[in-house]
């Protein structure tokens, strides 16, 4: 049974529709991420599940029970906010104990569970500190402890890591995932950071303009986007307008600069009934080689490097192939590096290409 | 260099001009001599003793105290409720109501005093202690609303939402989370209302029913007859109250706010 089920929920603010009819099944114990650009309705969706906003239409079910009219304090959900939202006038232990007190848990059990929760987030020594004495990362762990100590049906997190600096954010990401797996709690996580989303989720929900664009495992979505938006939003892609053609019984797409690219049937099937077709090539699936490199099984084109952007061990090339601009991400190898203006060989495998349709 | 010297001197003169009369009053209240004159001929608590034995003054003092405490209590309660409504709930016409609540600060006190008096006349309501109290509430309310609103805006809504998500009802959330976080402002509002009410004279003169005197109106009445050294003593007591109470309050508020980061 699914832990959370959204059935055609809609949220309107006056004449503006922030969330269009949206349905989603969230399986027990899974880590689901709502990912999308700013303003696409992630927070609005999460707040409807939390009970902080009423859906204009549709049903929200938790553990099979319709909870539309259940007020937030009776929903048994754990919420972690972007800015931690710890109670500044209470100690860490009292913060964590707050939900247990409101559940009338006897004192001894309460103390035991608070201690366990602090143990889980690895901060038992801070029990008697006040929130303002803690670092951002510590505050976020306490906020997490406070939310999970009540053993909620679902854990809701709205950009919980975005207030932390980059290094801490990666540590917390690992930490959060560890805790989620350890206690096996169904989790809905909201972020606009795709690396976070790809690294943590069991199920990724990509949203745009109040609509769900694609739902699936992160790997699946990354390697096989079904819409132009998703192809563009996740990672760096080269998206070429294309026509459906076939050569020698093999169907594929034909686009400017690259010509005919044969595609597998399952990719061609995605275009059925769509008005427009695009050929998508991930930037890291393209290789830049010296012009004199020996031929291989891949498609090969001549191009000119227009700009080079070093990013640590990665390097991003901007390459012109017959007037089309390509972005290429390659590992920086010791032997070969290219400069602006170099003539190079641009290669990719047609197997790595994806087709997306648009209406 | 020269310019700064002049400014410094000028500043010192301004301060002397402001505080010298206060210092003189305090000094003279300890003067043993009947006629307040320099040099001070001897120190004594004589005038304070006489003050304590003056029934009219003791009565005025009790009235002022009662009036101040009631004003503080009512203003603060109303002010907190009004601020909550204005900041936390989208009240239709909220901006207008907010301006209306603050307006008594902007209107000259005499105008307000006369207006309220005329209004009461119009309604044929007689002057009474209760009406005096209401008058004080009206012009102390803005101060409470201003400090409480400012603090309330600083209390993040998600802290309250977190409390509710953990099982607290909205009412429990108010008493366990919002009110404690609001405490320094509530306390400051109370002190403001008390001191403003305690040394108000303009409005009080207009609104007080016959026979009721507060400390300021009592001093005013006494001054009309003669300048008695008792008034100096009374002045010292007033200074002690109106300066001491807020200072004490500030200290307590700081302690209250000690553990509360934002
Ligand atoms: N209370 C509200 N009244 C009117 N419009 C709102 C309200 N809350 C949100 N919106 C609008 O709904 C849309 C979705 O907002 P939402 O906060 O869900 O976006 P988001 O995906 O969480 O974005 P972000 O990544 O910036 O947090 C936005 O266009 C926003 O302006
Ligand atoms: Mg958001």
Please report, for chain B, the start and end positions of each structural domain, with discontinuous segments joined by +.
1-44, 55-256
β-pair type (A237-247, A259-262): unpaired
Last residue of one domain, picked from the residues A187, A202, A223: A223
Residue A212: CB atoms within 10 A of its CB come to 21
**3-state SS string for A83-114:** CCCCCCCCCHHHHHHHHHHCCCCCHHHHHHHH
Asked if A344 and A195 sit in the same domain, the reply is: no
Structure confidence by residue, pLDDT tens digits, A41-70: 999 999 999 999 999 999 999 988 899 999
Rounded Cα–Cα distance for residues A157 and A175 (Å) = 14
Identify the pLDDT of residue B262: 40
Structure confidence by residue, pLDDT tens digits, A236-270: 999 999 999 988 888 899 998 888 999 998 899 98
Whether the predicted pLDDT of B116 surpasses 60: yes
Query: What integer is the mean pLDDT of B13-30?
Result: 86
Identify the pLDDT of residue B39: 67
Last residue of one domain, picked from the residues A197, A223, A249: A223
Whether A152 contacts A76, CB under 8 Å: yes
Structure confidence by residue, pLDDT tens digits, A169-205: 888 899 899 999 999 999 999 999 999 999 999 999 9
Return the beta strands (E) in A14-111 as ranges: 16-27, 31-35, 57-62, 65-66, 77-80
Topology of the domain covering B55-256: MetI-like fold (1.10.3720)
Identify the pLDDT of residue B104: 85
Which among A51, A74, A83 is the nearest to B156, CB-wise? A83
Last residue of one domain, picked from the residues A205, A223, A241: A223
Q: Which helix (H) or strand (E) holds A171?
A: helix A166-183
Whether the predicted pLDDT of A314 surpasses 50: yes
Whether A281 contacts A321, CB under 8 Å: no
Identify the pLDDT of residue A59: 94
Contact between A88 and B158 using a beta-carbon 8 Å cutoff:
no
Whether the predicted pLDDT of B139 surpasses 80: yes
CA atoms lying within 13 Å on the CB side of residue A337: 13
A73: contact with B, CB 8 A cutoff: yes
Residues in chain B with CB shorter than 8 Å from the CB of A147 are 165-166
Query: What integer is the mean pLDDT of A320-331?
Result: 91
Q: What is the CATH number of the domain that holds A278?
A: 2.40.50.100
B8: contact with A, CB 8 A cutoff: no
Residue A68: CB atoms within 10 A of its CB come to 13
Identify the pLDDT of residue A19: 94
Determine what percent of chain A is predicted with pLDDT higher than 70: 99
Asked if A39 and A174 sit in the same domain, the reply is: yes
* Three-state secondary-structure class, residue B26: helix
Rounded Cα–Cα distance for residues B250 and A329 (Å) = 61
Asked if A19 and A103 sit in the same domain, the reply is: yes
Q: What is the CATH number of the domain that holds A48?
A: 3.40.50.300
Identify the pLDDT of residue B81: 92
B158: contact with A, CB 8 A cutoff: yes
Structure confidence by residue, pLDDT tens digits, A104-135: 999 999 999 999 999 998 999 999 999 999 99
Structure confidence by residue, pLDDT tens digits, B37-69: 666 677 777 788 888 888 888 898 899 999 999
Whether B178 contacts B200, CB under 8 Å: no
- Domain around A80: 2-223
Identify the pLDDT of residue A169: 87
Structure confidence by residue, pLDDT tens digits, A12-31: 999 999 999 999 999 999 99
Look at residues A238, A239, A202 and name the one whose alpha carbon lies nearest to residue A221. Answer: A202
Q: How many domains does chain A have?
A: 2
Residue A193: CB atoms within 10 A of its CB come to 16
Rounded Cα–Cα distance for residues A315 and A296 (Å) = 23
Q: Which residue of B has its CA nearest to A98?
A: B166
Cα-only R_g, chain A: 25
Contact between A79 and B172 using a beta-carbon 8 Å cutoff:
no
């Amino acid at each position: 049974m699914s832990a959370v089920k959204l059935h055609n929920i809609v949220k309107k603010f006056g004449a503006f529709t922030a969330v269009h009819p949206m349905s989603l099944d969230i399986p027990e114990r899974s880590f689901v991420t709502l990912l999308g650009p700013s303003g696409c309705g992630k927070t609005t969706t999460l707040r409807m599940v939390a009970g902080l906003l009423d859906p204009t239409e549709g049903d929200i079910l938790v553990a099979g029970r319709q909870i539309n009219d259940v007020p937030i304090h009776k929903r048994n959900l754990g919420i972690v906010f972007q800015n931690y939202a710890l109670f500044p006038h209470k100690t860490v232990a009292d913060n964590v104990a707050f939900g247990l007190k409101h559940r009338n848990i006897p004192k001894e059990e309460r103390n035991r569970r608070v201690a366990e929760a602090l143990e889980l987030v690895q901060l038992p020594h801070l029990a008697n500190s006040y929130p303002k004495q803690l670092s951002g990362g510590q505050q976020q762990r306490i906020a997490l402890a406070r939310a999970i100590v009540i053993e909620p049906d679902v854990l809701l997190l709205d950009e919980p890591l975005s207030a932390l600096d980059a290094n801490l954010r990666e540590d917390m990401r690992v930490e959060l995932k560890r805790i989620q797996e350890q206690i096996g709690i169904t989790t809905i996580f909201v972020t606009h950071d795709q690396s976070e989303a790809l690294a943590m989720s069991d199920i990724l929900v990509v949203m745009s303009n109040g609509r769900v664009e694609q739902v699936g495992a992160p790997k699946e979505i990354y390697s096989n986007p079904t819409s132009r938006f998703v192809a563009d939003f996740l990672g760096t892609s080269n998206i070429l307008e294309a026509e459906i053609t076939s050569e020698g019984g093999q169907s594929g797409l034909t686009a400017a600069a690259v010509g005919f690219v044969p595609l597998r049937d399952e990719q061609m099937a995605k275009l059925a009934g769509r008005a427009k077709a695009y050929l998508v090539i991930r930037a890291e699936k393209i290789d830049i080689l010296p012009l004199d490199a020996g031929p291989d099984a891949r498609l090969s084109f001549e191009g000119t490097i227009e700009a080079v952007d070093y990013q640590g061990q990665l390097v991003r090339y901007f390459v012109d192939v017959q007037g089309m601009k390509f972005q290429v991400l390659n590992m920086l190898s010791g032997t070969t590096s290219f400069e602006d203006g170099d003539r190079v060989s641009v290669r990719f495998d047609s197997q790595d290409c994806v087709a997306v349709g648009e209406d | 260099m020269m310019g700064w010297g002049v400014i410094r001197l000028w500043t010192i003169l301004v301060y002397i001009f402001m505080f010298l009369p206060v210092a003189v009053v305090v000094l003279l209240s300890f003067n043993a001599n009947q006629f307040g004159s320099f040099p001070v001929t001897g120190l004594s608590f004589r005038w304070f003793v006489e003050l304590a034995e003056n029934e009219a003054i003791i009565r005025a003092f009790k009235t002022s105290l009662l009036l101040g405490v009631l004003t503080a209590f009512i203003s603060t309660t109303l002010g907190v409720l009004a601020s909550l409504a204005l900041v936390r709930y989208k009240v239709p016409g909220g901006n207008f109501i907010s301006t209306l609540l603050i307006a008594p600060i902007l209107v000259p006190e005499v105008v307000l005093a006369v207006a309220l008096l005329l209004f009461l006349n119009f309604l044929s309501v007689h002057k009474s202690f209760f009406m005096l109290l209401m008058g004080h509430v009206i012009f102390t309310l803005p101060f409470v609303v201003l400090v409480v609103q400012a603090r309330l805006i600083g209390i993040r809504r998600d802290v309250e939402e977190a409390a509710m998500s953990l099982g607290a009802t909205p009412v429990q959330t108010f008493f366990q989370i919002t009110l404690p976080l609001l405490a320094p402002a509530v306390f400051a509002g109370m002190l403001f209302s008390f001191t403003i009410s305690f040394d108000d004279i303009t409005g009080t003169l207009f609104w007080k029913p016959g026979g009721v005197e507060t400390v300021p109106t009592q001093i005013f009445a006494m001054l009309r007859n003669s300048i008695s050294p008792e008034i100096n003593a009374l002045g010292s007591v007033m200074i002690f109250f109106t300066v001491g109470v807020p200072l004490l309050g500030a200290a307590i508020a700081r302690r209250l706010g000690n553990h509360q980061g934002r």
